[in-house]
Structure 1
Amino acid sequence: MEHANYRNTISESINLIDAHYQRFSFQRHYHLDFHIGLITQGEQKFQHKGSTHHVQQGHVVIMQPDELHDGHSVLASGYQTKVFSLNPQWLSSLANESNSHNMVSFRQPVLSDPVIFRQLYQLHQLLAGQNLSQLAKDCLPLEGFERLFKHYGQTQAPTIHNLGTQSTEILKEFIWHNIDLPIRLEQLASLCDLTPTQFQRHFKATMGMSPYAWLSRLRLEYAMKLLREGHSATQVAYQVGFYDQAHFTKAFKINFGITPKQASL
């Protein structure tokens, strides 16, 4: 049976997911945050950067922001996972105090490291609990992620992808400011000083998906954030540019495996 429990923590930069996926398959998508997942039972396969990865109990899966991937269970019984959803700026500052402009990245998407798995599993359990002080919850992430940074992480200047005369970050800012409005291909192309045909071709080559699919995912990622903050599903649908509640619910469930109402619990 499918199950996904999204939990907030005291820190706005850390969210936790406990999930059991059986028949549900993730289509190609990306996240705005880092997703660090622990496979606690079963087996999963996913495509990432042209390679197929087969992970099982004890593996750590690291998905960095904006990286396309999919995912499905290998076994009929499904797989269980505990996931950290982490704000990229916060995680980078945690890993690299000397240069706040650099971003953390990891050299591989799958780790087989029992020590790190155990540390992160314990951290997930502790942050999900109710009996820790604020100071403990402030300190625990640094302790929990320290070995991960030391052995597998690196910091570097952010990668800039250009589309015509603009970067993808400028494009993303434009969409954030207009996310509740109908956005036309001509608008995006004009912003980058490209024709619509040029823009669509360059965008897909750079981002790995069509502008429409990328925008839809961006809206749903933002919807998840708003739902976790306590906004109602009806409010969120309109805030992110869906003008039909049924369409929003269907798109949300296809992408996350749960309904908007379940995400807000």
Structure 2
Amino acid sequence: MPDLALIELRRQKLFHDTDFPLEIFMHEYKARTNRWHRHQDFYELVVICSGHARNENEVSSTMVQAGNVFLLPAGSVHRYREIHQFWHYNVLFDPALLTPNLPMLKQLPGYRMLFQMPPSTPEAACSQLLSVDEGILAHLIAQIEQIRSELALHAPGWQAAAYFSFLYFLAYLLRNCTPRNLRPDATIQKIGKAIRMIEEDSRKPYTLEKLARGVHMSVSSFRHHFTAVTGLSPGNFLIKLRIRKALLLLCSPASISRVAEQVGFQDSNYFARQFRNQTGMTPSEFQKKYRETPAILHTVMDKL
């Protein structure tokens, strides 16, 4: 590791608000190798979304890929090489943010795996490599994007919203991560495949039978495991996804009937009823409030 090529990364330069030590970056790479760099005074939680690369420090070289998660503490030095279609999120934070809630976080099954580092030098410090299945990864990405939105928009109360969203994200991760050497459960992989099917085109007329058949499961087993993984029945998951997409389209000049059709509701009256059930207002009421106060979009999104 050549000292002259080492980039020193400091919180003062990376954090937009140094009084609130939380920042998130999304990285993609054009080169096959990036430069050695040190995280001077912050922790970096890496969530890999696509592709693969080799994560190197002074004592080890490990291939990492989509679904892997690891933590680099302050003082650690590393780089990536053999990069291929590799993109990931870096969640940068001061560990002092966790202090008020540390007793509860320590009770979560993934805490020791992520935060108790194997013996090493400070520069080579890194958590063990953890994994999440595709369904969990999809939820983590959505949560990260919610935090990024709060950090970018600085709407009233953004610090509290970003902080508690970060804690929720971290708790969700610690409840669902496993060591990489454990083979992902085949059933969970099937549920992840079903979630991808729904998210890729939510307009299709999905039925419980069609979704179960698509992942080679019985209807009863699929319903049970889907609810266990997502916290929602397949039908409610699909409705919430369609309503979230509808919210974004309702911010445009498109008509309510057109929005309903675009997100998968063939009956605009049924769409209006479901929209009200999920948001507490009709689509036309939302449009009116959005024109008056655009920030209401994020308030409503938070409730879904």
TM-score under structure 2 length normalisation: 0.39
Rg (Cα) greater in structure? 2
The answer to which structure has the higher helix fraction is: 2
RCO higher in 1 or 2 (8 Å CA, sep ≥ 6)? 1
TM-score under structure 1 length normalisation: 0.44
